[in-house]
Structure 1
Amino acid sequence: MVTAALRKPLNQTMLRQIKNDGIKEEVHGLPLVFLPIITKTRVALFEGDFNFHKSNSTYFTDLDTSRSHLLSFLCFHGVAKTDKELSAEGKKGTITAMLGSTYTHFKREIPTGHAYEVWSRIMTWDHKWLYVVTHFVCRGKIVPRACVADLVEDRQQQQSVHMKPFNTSLSSSEIESSVYASSVSKCVFKKGRLTVSPERILSASGLLSNVLPPDTSPIDPTSLKGGDGEGEITIDVLEKKLSAHADDQDLATRIEAERCKNLRFAELSSGLEDLQRNFLKDEEVLNGVISLGTFTDLGCRG
């Protein structure tokens, strides 16, 4: 959280500062809001199970760390801004991101002492929930070509970042085999008992639109006189305004397409909510429960 507070706010135009030598057009079509954050770590000795593999229960600790890092990196300034706005409206409390549920699919084990990476990114959102997808990946298998953090950390003072060469030899099967486990986390933003929509937080964080030119006031057609008089708009200024709004509309279209595409994965995890309604079988509701026994965590009769 401290490092997030020290970074300058994010915006989509930062991707234009990532340069690909020899290529003039925009080098990355994926919107900033969907980019992953990567945490490097390894399986500690105390995290291993009796098979000397990373214990399944320890994955959730990594999820908490990676998810917190992602949301603080992307949304810290947006949360602070929205919290201030809602406080001015009389809403009490502080905005926090709370975990609603998480689902994890274990594909292959990670040996004790083995190095790996945790990749988390925003997958999609609806009117209430923000869905974060996390992959546990073999370290060094996939190397990012550039890093947005190089542009937002004040100590770097960089105007642009050049992209590294891309390894095109990786096949889809090799990429898939590098994943140890995948998880989907469902989060909600709360200020007291008030639910704050993810879209409001993401928009306040500068993730859902480009940064338009400073003068974004409505255009008065009668002021287009070639720029000879005071307050008149030149054709160049008009073109810049129209271009900026067109870019903003294109970005919104791409973000919405990606959000809708990923909603199918969110629906799978949301379906698990029905499980709590099936905690007891119909027979148990009517006649009571017969269990196999009650024990302590040491295996003794409780």
Structure 2
Amino acid sequence: MHGIREILQIACSWLTFDVVWKVSIIVLLLLNLKNVPFVYHLRILNGVRFLLRSQRPPIAVQPEHLFQPLITSSKVCLMEIDVFGHKSNSTYFADIDVARVHLVTTLFGKGIEQIRGGTTMNGLSGKPRSKFTLALGAVSCTFKQELLPYETYDMWTRIISWDEKWVYIVTHFVKRSSKISPRISSLYPDQSAQDSCTEEPHAGDATKDTSTSNVPVRSPVAASALSKVVFKDGRITIRPREMIEASGLLPKQEFSHAGSTGKFDARVETEVEERRQRGLRLSALLSGQVELEEEFNGKVALGRHYDGIGAEGVMATLAQLTKLSKFQLV
């Protein structure tokens, strides 16, 4: 008993308010590391590093990789939870940004290097600053299922189509609990063996019911997002096909040994064009949203509300609750 009393006394002397406060802050940060300030920027930089030749996949990208998805994983943090107890809809878009950067730098690393004149960051190579950038034009997301606190999910991101200006990219949020994994990892063959070890029988079929019951299998997709991006070199728009060809994702004309005329792989070109046209029909959702700007009318409004954040918003809300003010504006 005397030893236990001494241990309790030591623990009480150590667990001061200052210590408890600091430990609580550290635990809170660790549980929400994804939402700590500037971590979003680090996540983006982690995807940008695949522009470096040393970080590129061991296998060079080929035309067959053009429409294949790249998988990035994440987990729902506490600060992403909304009032209903699941991942807030607004937090999906930050994850989409990260997944999109990983896909673009992986597929178009070679083409971006040609346009920028190298892979060195601006200001470090001694060359004129590159004006290359990737601009997001629009994004739309459809929600199917909830993602619960600290649930792990995969983002399957791939190119779906392109036109004369925009590249259309789709991202599927797939619940990790569905145990969906690719049978083959075409750019990272060593990952194929790892996925096959964790994959259950028939897990590659996302829509087929593998049980003996007649109950249909629930879709593993929690949400689907469609984005459109454009490649820019300053004010100059880089046509998607030019970037795709520069990256080795479209077949080029092959010349014979005589050097006269060559043979173009028409079969691959036809397959790519068919998939592009099919995806372009699905991408009409975003291309039609440009007309929404014409629906804006700044002449009449219902009024103005504060969202309750900041000193001014808090004071306005308290004044309303205590009936000290009739107006939202204090």
**Is residue 140–residue 226 contact of structure 2 (8 Å, CA) maintained in 1?**
yes
Aligned counterpart in structure 2 of residue 278 of structure 1, from 283, 287, 295: 295
Aligned ranges for residues 177-192 of structure 1 at < 5 Å? Answer: 177-192=219-234
Partner of 1:99: 136
Is it true that 1:76 corresponds to 2:109 in the alignment? Answer: yes
Give me the identity figure in percent: 34
- TM, length-normalised to structure 1: 0.71
Q: Deviations over 1:57-91 (max 9, x none)?
A: 11001000000000000001111113339xxxxx9
Is it true that 1:3 corresponds to 2:14 in the alignment? Answer: no
Aligned ranges for residues 1-302 of structure 1 at < 5 Å? Answer: 1-5=48-52, 6=54, 7=56, 10-12=60-62, 31-84=64-117, 93-139=130-176, 140-150=178-188, 164=196, 167=202, 170-171=206-207, 177-209=219-251, 218-219=259-260, 245=263, 248-280=265-297, 288-298=299-309, 300=316, 301-302=328-329
> Residue type of the partner of 2:279?
N
From the superposition, tell whether residues 179 and 251 of structure 1 become closer, same or farther in structure 2 (CA, over 3 Å): same
**Is residue 128–residue 188 contact of structure 1 (8 Å, CA) maintained in 2?**
yes
- Name the CA distance, whole Å, in 2 between partners of 1:44 and 1:200: 40
From the superposition, tell whether residues 53 and 126 of structure 1 become closer, same or farther in structure 2 (CA, over 3 Å): same
The structure with the largest alpha-carbon Rg is: 2
- Name the CA distance, whole Å, in 2 between partners of 1:72 and 1:117: 18
- Cα-Cα RMSD: 3.2
From the superposition, tell whether residues 93 and 210 of structure 1 become closer, same or farther in structure 2 (CA, over 3 Å): closer
Q: Deviations over 1:246-280 (max 9, x none)?
A: 6x221111111100011111112211111111011
Offset of 1:52 from its aligned partner?
1.5
From the superposition, tell whether residues 187 and 138 of structure 1 become closer, same or farther in structure 2 (CA, over 3 Å): same
Q: How many residues align?
A: 243
**Is residue 43–residue 113 contact of structure 1 (8 Å, CA) maintained in 2?**
yes
From the superposition, tell whether residues 176 and 77 of structure 1 become closer, same or farther in structure 2 (CA, over 3 Å): farther
**Is residue 10–residue 207 contact of structure 1 (8 Å, CA) maintained in 2?**
no
From the superposition, tell whether residues 106 and 210 of structure 1 become closer, same or farther in structure 2 (CA, over 3 Å): same
Partner of 1:236: none
Which residues of structure 1 form unaligned runs of 5+?
Answer: 14-30, 86-90, 221-240
> Residue type of the partner of 2:144?
K
Which residues of structure 2 form unaligned runs of 5+?
Answer: 1-47, 119-127, 210-215, 317-327
Offset of 1:2 from its aligned partner?
2.1
Offset of 1:150 from its aligned partner?
2.1
Q: Deviations over 1:24-76 (max 9, x none)?
A: xxxxxxx2100000011111111111222001111001000000000000001
**Is residue 51–residue 113 contact of structure 2 (8 Å, CA) maintained in 1?**
no
From the superposition, tell whether residues 277 and 267 of structure 1 become closer, same or farther in structure 2 (CA, over 3 Å): same
Partner SS, residue 144 of structure 1: coil
Partner SS, residue 282 of structure 2: helix
Query: Highest relative contact order (Cα 8 Å, sep 6+), 1 or 2?
Result: 1
